[in-house]
Amino acid sequence: MTETHRNLAFFGSDAIAIPCLHALMENDQDWKVAAVLTQPDRPSGRGRNLQPNPVKSWALEHGIPVRDPEKPTHHEVQWLKELKIDLTMVMAYGHILKEEFLNYAPLGCFNLHASLLPKYRGASPVETAIAMGEVQTGVTLMQVIPQMDAGPMIDCEPVDIGMGDTGQQVRQKIAQACIPLLGRSVPNLLSGKYPLLEQDENQATYCRKLSKADGQLNFRLSADELVSRSRAFASWPGCYFVHQDKVLRVGKMNKFPHDLSLEPGQRSSTKENSLIIGTGNGSVEILELQKPGGKMLPIADFLRGYAIHKEITFPSPSDQISLIRTEKESSFKKIS
């Protein structure tokens, strides 16, 4: 490390940031990660014991000063100033930063956002991109301003979304895409010589934080939409539907290749030991299912131990909140 190295602070909490941190740590001729600001320990696991998040664990492992307030305040700003931080990098921190956090470091504050901005600003860009049927997403490096994910863009790294990719798999791709992006961008940030491209507000879309209710299959949607959601939500919140007041969790599901002219939620009886359900456009075939207190089973095994009437029509939620909104919409809409 040179005598004129710069001090970087990293704000983040999610595992998606770990490859980014490793890259910053390894390529340290001109800079070092000198501080980490992250979320506090949360209950985790079966015992619900307090556990540090992956970024905090990484910082402790590497002996980097770390703080984890419930909400960052001027005390953290003062701490960062005392550490002589020159530049702030942010990825998946989980807080909207006040202006004092954007201005305390002389070289600025920059964010790695897990989408190709201006699409999918907000809290769930990876899962929402998959759920909306996108075939490409990526990570965008942007300057942080006091407006959510709306700052001018510096660079981006696209990644493809494969036909079978789950949310976790795309997260891993985006995490790795940060490495070349940082490799070519951090030296420019340190020199102060980098392009700034304003986002097109007319193209902006916003995604919200996901909830458990998003996992309920709404059979009024199309088969393509439901399959995309099942991939997007595989890790959390998972997908499910209700049968006789029981929540049945869905594992794998595919679009059924033939037109059966079923009503939304209607079960087909054309294929033995199967569960094919009509949607708003096409049909889906449930390949794995789990009852409360049971294990996820292949559908033929599940149906041997759990009876579902052949002529049933499964219910859909009366309404759901849409996953995205545009810049011109003031709030997220109900869909039905």
Residue 54 and residue 34 share a domain: yes
Please say if the pLDDT value at position 185 is more than 70: yes
Of 183, 206, 229, which closes a domain? 206
Q: Which of 190, 203, 222 is nearest to 327 (CA)?
A: 203
Residue 272 lies in a domain: yes
Query: In the block, which residue shows the tokens 């919200």?
Result: 208
Residue 244 lies in a domain: yes
Residue 112 and residue 19 share a domain: yes
Residue 101: which CATH number? Answer: 3.40.50.170
Residue 84 lies in a domain: yes
C-alpha separations of 262 from 214, 269, 288, 311, 320 in Å = 23, 11, 21, 11, 22
pTM for this predicted structure: 0.94
C-alpha separations of 94 from 71, 138, 165 in Å = 10, 19, 25
Distance CA 195, CA 60 (A): 34
Of 179, 206, 233, which closes a domain? 206
Identify the weakest region by mean pLDDT among 77-81, 82-86, 307-311.
307-311
Residue 324 lies in a domain: no
Q: What is the pLDDT of residue 28?
A: 65
Please say if the pLDDT value at position 66 is more than 60: yes
Q: Which of 131, 161, 299, 312 is nearest to 222 (CA)?
A: 131
Q: What is the pLDDT of residue 230?
A: 98
Confidence of residue 2 (pLDDT cuts 50, 70, 90): very low
Of 158, 186, 206, which closes a domain? 206
Q: Which of 92, 112, 100 is nearest to 72 (CA)?
A: 100
Domain count, the chain: 2
Residue 96 lies in a domain: yes
Residue 113 lies in a domain: yes
Residue 257 and residue 197 share a domain: no
Residue 216 and residue 133 share a domain: no
Residue 287 lies in a domain: yes
Distance CA 183, CA 193 (A): 15
Residue 46 and residue 173 share a domain: yes
- Do 129 and 115 touch, CB atoms closer than 8 A? yes
Residue 291: which CATH number? Answer: 3.10.25.10
Residue 172 in tokens: 């891993």
Residue 191 and residue 226 share a domain: no
The gap from C-alpha 91 to its chain's centroid, in whole angstroms, comes to: 12
Residue 149 and residue 256 share a domain: no
Greatest CA separation found in the chain? Answer: 75
Range of the domain at 287: 212-305
- Do 83 and 34 touch, CB atoms closer than 8 A? yes
Q: What is the pLDDT of residue 1?
A: 46
